[in-house]
Amino acid sequence: MNVVSKQDLRTHADAIAGRGYTVMPAVLSPAQVKNAKVALKKIFAREKAIGSEENWANPQYQISLCLPAKDKLFRDLCFVPEILELARMILGQDCVVTSMNGFTTKPRGLKQPLHCDFPGERQLITSILLVMCLDDFTSENGCTRVVPDSQRKYGLEKNFEHLESEAVELEAPSGSLIVYDGDLIHGAGLNQTNDLRLALHLVYSRSWVRPQWDFALSMRKGQRDRLTDAERAMFGIDLHPYILDSYSARPFDLSKPGRLGYYIKRVRSKFFSGL
């Protein structure tokens, strides 16, 4: 595990502001990686049935949503000092976690199409996504690929097949972080091996951006009551109304029900079974 200096963090922040991404080696300790893999595999096994039903498990990948509500281990990873300081450098001291998911490319699966998580026409970085590599990321097992300098250039466009020739693969050893602007065009590669390629996807946003996931609604009351003040702030439990909708890149219409709020209610009894 590397000790990342403040100057190194500034260099990484400048790279994200410039070309749109950076790779930070050896940020997570071997113990953090091992424990996260064990916890994530248990959750994947528990959610196998609903994953198939909700398309969280498909020929491209398997995903587990809202990990901070499922294990304290994942909440703690949101507070790794180097990670949090980088997020605050870019997004401000009051930045929040907007989502944290487990993600794995399937063995002999499909390549994920290039896409943009937070499309829009704005000049400000509103979110950053950190890929925590729990396995070595290689060309063979479907490492993340990105299109450099593609952030904030394509508005609400959704088809980026024409950019495939510009995409670069980001290989990185286990314990590394791949960090990029939420507007950057990216996608998981094709896993040509016989093994899963495990990762955590952690997204920080400015406090006034509508989150991808409603943690207050996702956690049971007893669980929310046990959160520390720092955790309540980080997961937006008591946050004020949002003024930017990260899904439409337009001001958030408070008169309309949140898409994810409805979604959570619909699957909650199955999604949170065993918590």
The pLDDT score that the predictor gives to residue 72 is 94
Q: What pLDDT, on a 0 to 100 scale, did the predictor assign at position 252?
A: 36
Structure tokens at 40: 């994530």
Closest CA to 237 of 212, 265, 217: 217
Model pTM above 0.95:
no
Token pair belonging to 72 = 């304290």
Q: Report in angstroms the alpha-carbon separations of 60 from 107, 154, 196.
A: 9, 25, 11
Q: Which two tokens stand for residue 186?
A: 């990216």
| Domains present along the chain, CATH in parentheses | 6-271 (2.60.120.620)
Instruction: Give the whole-angstrom CA distance, residue 94 versus residue 230.
Output: 11
Instruction: Taking each helix axis as running N to C, give the angle between helix 81-91 and helix 6-18, from 0 to 180 degrees, rounded to the nearest 10.
Output: 50
**Which phi and psi (to 5°) does residue 255 adopt?**
-80, -10
Query: pLDDT truncated to tens, each residue of the chain (275 aa)?
Result: 667 888 999 999 999 999 999 999 999 999 999 999 999 999 988 887 777 777 777 777 888 888 998 999 999 999 999 999 999 999 999 999 999 999 998 888 888 899 998 876 667 899 999 999 999 999 999 999 999 999 988 877 788 999 999 999 999 999 999 999 999 999 999 999 999 899 999 999 998 887 788 788 778 888 888 999 999 999 988 765 555 445 444 433 333 433 344 334 434 434 443 33
**Three-class secondary structure of residue 35 per DSSP:** helix
pLDDT score recorded for residue 263: 38
Which residues neighbour 35 within 8 Å (Cβ) at sequence distance 6 or greater? Answer: 73
pLDDT for 241 equals 53
pLDDT of residue 253: 39
- The pLDDT assigned to 105 comes to 87
Reading phi first (left if > 0) and then psi (alpha if -120 to 50, else beta), residue 249 is in left
Q: Which residues pair with 172 in a beta bridge?
A: 137
Q: Which of 254, 261, 253 is CA-nearest to residue 215? A: 261
Which two tokens mark 158?
């959704």
